[in-house]
């Protein structure tokens, strides 16, 4: 019985040691990741290991896992425009490494390749592109600026084995002096528009007064001509028309009493 327990103990120990060895010889690569194998004797292997469970030689080989999914990064840059205005720009980049170049990236740059490469090349490209435009063009031609930055930065990143899935300008502001100058220009333009409106209004009023005076002059000339042709008949006609209008207004008033002419009327007044 003692020998049986001893045999079982040895078997269990052997299984534990064997399980530890097997476990140390396995490694997993998650979805969206890739692995590069570092061999202590041959260095970094050129083969890129895909997703799943894989074998390696314990102690001799070591897996370096890379995330190959697109990741965002915001890079703020302060640069100058063509007309020497300070520009604050924030660029948002979606990047990922080229899978086939992971051994070269690990050998020449390291695992933190994004920290070492993206800020420097982004600053370089932004400074070069923004310097081609003045402040007004950066606002009115923002789409052109963004496209030029994307093309130049994509080409620059390819030399380091990086793929840029999206490049966009998320923030673009100018210095305090330029902002104040723009506000003062807007105020001056508004004042000029208001002054022009006042001038145009005065001109319209002048034209209206001239037209009204010309109308009155023409009307007076017509009346004078009519009086010369018809004599006092026109005046009598106007008197009759005026009397008719006055009688019509008085007839509609409740506080007017009509008394016959040429007759005495007794008013019942209290004693």
Mean pLDDT value of segment 214-228: 73
Q: Are 170 and 89 in contact (CB under 8 A)?
A: no
In 10 A of CB 153, how many CB atoms? 24
How high is the pLDDT of residue 22?
58
How high is the pLDDT of residue 215?
77
Residue percentage of the chain with pLDDT more than 70 = 76
pLDDT: is 217 or 23 the higher one? 217
Q: Which of 174, 171, 173, 175 is nearest to 74 (CA)?
A: 171
Q: Which of 201, 107, 97, 86 is nearest to 158 (CA)?
A: 97
Tokens coding 97:
């490494």
Tokens coding 101:
């170049």
How high is the pLDDT of residue 10?
60
How high is the pLDDT of residue 64?
92
Structure confidence at residue 37 as a pLDDT band (50, 70, 90): very high
pLDDT: is 179 or 202 the higher one? 202
Reported residue count of the chain is 271
How high is the pLDDT of residue 191?
76
Structure confidence at residue 12 as a pLDDT band (50, 70, 90): low
The model's pLDDT over 140-195, given as tens digits with 9 standing for 90+, comes to 888 999 999 999 999 999 999 999 999 999 888 887 766 665 566 666 677 778 87
The model's pLDDT over 58-102, given as tens digits with 9 standing for 90+, comes to 888 899 999 999 999 999 998 988 888 888 999 999 999 999 999
How high is the pLDDT of residue 250?
73
**pLDDT over threshold 70, residue 267:** no
Average pLDDT, the chain: 81
How high is the pLDDT of residue 100?
92
* CATH superfamily, with its number, for domain 71-174: Band 7 domain (3.30.479.30)
pTM: 0.61
What's the 3-state SS for the chain? CHHHHHHHHHHHHHHHHHHHHHHHCEEEECCCEEEEEEECCCEEEEEEECCEEEECCCCCEEEEEEECCCEEEEEEEEEECCCCCEEEEEEEEEEEECHHHHHHHHHHCCCCHHHHHHHHHHHHHHHHHHCCCCHHHHHHCHHHHHHHHHHHHHHHHHCCCEEEEEEEEEEEEECHHHHHHHHHHHHHHHHHHHHHHHHHHHHHHHHHHHHHHHHHHHHHHHHHHHHHHHCCHHHHHHHHHHHHHHHHHHHCCCCCCCCCCCCCCCCCCCC
Q: What residue segments make up the domains of the chain, in order of their start?
A: 24-67, 71-174
Count Cβ atoms within 10 A of the Cβ of residue 43 and give its class: 0-12 exposed, 13-18 middle, 19 or more buried: exposed
How high is the pLDDT of residue 199?
82
**pLDDT over threshold 90, residue 128:** yes
């Amino acid at each position: 019985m003692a020998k049986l327990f001893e045999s079982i103990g040895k078997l269990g120990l052997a299984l534990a040691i064997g399980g530890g060895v097997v476990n140390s010889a396995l490694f997993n690569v998650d979805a969206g990741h890739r692995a590069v194998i570092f061999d202590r004797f041959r260095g970094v292997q050129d083969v890129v290991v895909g997703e799943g469970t894989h074998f390696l030689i314990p102690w001799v080989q070591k897996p370096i896992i890379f995330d190959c999914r697109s990741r965002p990064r915001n890079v703020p840059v302060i640069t100058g425009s063509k007309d020497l205005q300070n520009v604050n720009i924030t660029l948002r980049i979606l990047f990922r490494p080229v899978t086939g170049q992971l051994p070269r990236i690990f050998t020449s740059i390291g695992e933190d390749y994004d920290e070492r490469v993206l800020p420097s090349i982004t600053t370089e490209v932004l400074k070069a592109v923004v310097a081609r435009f003045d402040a007004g063009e950066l606002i009115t031609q923002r789409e052109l600026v963004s496209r030029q930055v994307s093309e130049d930065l994509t080409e620059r990143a390819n030399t380091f084995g990086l793929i840029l899935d999206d490049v966009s300008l998320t923030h673009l502001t100018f210095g305090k002096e330029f902002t104040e100058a723009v506000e003062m220009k807007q105020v001056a333009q508004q004042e000029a528009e208001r002054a022009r409106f006042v001038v145009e209004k005065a001109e319209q009023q002048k034209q209206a007064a001239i037209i009204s005076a010309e109308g009155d002059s023409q009307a007076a000339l017509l009346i004078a001509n009519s009086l010369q042709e018809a004599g006092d008949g026109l005046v009598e006609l106007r008197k009759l028309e005026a009397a008719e209008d006055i009688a019509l207004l008085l007839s509609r008033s409740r506080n007017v009493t009509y008394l016959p002419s040429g007759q005495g009327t007794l008013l019942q007044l209290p004693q």
